[in-house]
Amino acid sequence: MKTVAIDDVLTTAGTGAFQRRLLGIFGFVWAADAMQVLAVGFTAPSIADSFGLTVPQALQTGTLFFLGMLLGASGFGKLADRVGRRKVLLVTVACDGVFGLLSVFAPSFGALLVLRFLTGAAVGGTLPVDYALMAEFLPPRSRGRWLVMLEGFWAVGTVVIALAAWIASAWGVAEAWRWLFAVTALPALVGFWLRLWVPESAMFLLRTGRAAEAKEVLDRVLRRNGRLGLSEEAALVVPPALPATGLFSPELRRRSLLMLLVWFLVSVSYYGVFTWMPVRLASEGLGFVRGYGFILLIALAQIPGYALAAFGVERWGRKPTLIGFLLLSAAACALFVVARDPVLVGGSLLAMSFALLGTWGALYAFTPELYPTQSRATGMGAASAMARLGGLLAPSALSLLVAQSFTAAVGLFAALLLLGAVGTSLIDVETRAKGLS
């Protein structure tokens, strides 16, 4: 009997039609989830008008949404490591679409808060499990690049929500928040049907004693990519795992603590900027750095950030690329603090968008590779939960600082991102071109 490792099979299969279809399906809902998250800043003024609130009060929808994401990321990530990735993905994306669509018809602000919390829980569960499953269908040599490509769909969602908000503003749509929530919910409903095609992870199946099913899934990958299936006598070998797989076991404690810290610091900075910036630029701005047109430019600046991250994680490695983007993000925030000329202000905002989204791309490529299969979705869920904690603080705890000075808040973000670069440099492993365990 011939034994073969899953990573060897995936290397033979390469990245072809199977991975492209998987990327399209996951990316479609990933873009929808980006729209759900960033709708917080775009819908706040309209929600305030509808229910007679101030904008900070309306931003409580963001607080409840991120609280839901925090709980959903942690809970669904653990569940995916126990019952499988596919089941959790189908449940979360269905709830994402249903509760998101119900938000459109919320009769009161209280009802809207409940629905945004439930939508956030579903979105929080979708994001980390997507990455765990996508990573487990990719060969080691191209895994980082493809994971950044998946994260790149976040930029697509950012552009779509910015464009939708611009159109709603230009047309003078009444209660524009209902229109925007509909735009964010419908792709998730479509995504549920698309995800019925996605198989369970072969790595998860093998780890849970279902070797025959794992072999069938790998045969499907091979044939879809135009390769020969596994021979009947081939037997899949379980890769060696760490003796303890808890996130804070001795073998994983250092990387887990540092990576969770980095996720928190990046998310506070990112959501601090992108929750408040649409509100401020649409109403105040500075010269040409104002309105939805410039917000759309900021969204478009994210795309080359992802492209450079996709190149960097394979060429230079995960850690160097992540550190580089964190330093660039901090520098862009610092430039905003000292800038007085509209050109410099606009340039710093574009650089912020470029660098912060490149940071996310490198972060999402690096994190799932730090953990063995038994803990991968849990690790991604914990990281995502830290990101949601940062997002939870952005519209609430930071509101007092932002009210005093948005510039001072951005200066704080520069310091946090610099600290994130230091934390990344202390992580004890580089995962470029390494197999999953």
List domains and CATH numbers for the chain: 2-210+245-425 (1.20.1250.20)
The pair of three-digit structure tokens given for residue 428, joined into one six-digit string:
């004890």
Residue 4 β-bridge partners: 236
Please count the other Cβ atoms lying within 10 Å of the Cβ belonging to residue 250.
10
Is residue 216 exposed (0-12), middle (13-18) or buried (19+ Cβ within 10 Å)? middle
pLDDT tens figures, 275-334? 666 656 655 555 445 556 777 788 888 889 988 998 998 889 889 999 999 999 999 999
Q: Between β-strands 234-237 and 2-5, what pairing exists: parallel, antiparallel or unpaired?
A: parallel
Number of helices and strands (H, E) in the chain? Answer: 18, 2
Give the pLDDT score at 288: 45
Name the nearest CA neighbour of 34 among 157, 133, 127, 140. 157
Do 5 and 164 form a contact (C-beta atoms < 8 A)? Answer: no
Output the pTM of the full model: 0.80
> How confident is residue 1, by pLDDT bands cut at 50, 70 and 90?
low
Give the pLDDT score at 63: 84
Give the pLDDT score at 17: 93
Give the pLDDT score at 431: 76
Question: How far is 323 from 363, CA to CA, in rounded Å?
Answer: 10
Do 233 and 25 form a contact (C-beta atoms < 8 A)? Answer: no
CA 148 from centroid of its chain's CA atoms: 10
**3-class DSSP state of 3:** strand
The answer, yes or no, to whether residue 49 has pLDDT greater than 90, is yes
Residue 286 β-bridge partners: 289
The answer, yes or no, to whether residue 373 has pLDDT greater than 90, is no
206 Cβ contact partners less than 8 Å away, ≥ 6 residues apart: 6, 214, 236, 238
Q: What is the mean pLDDT of residues 168-188?
A: 89
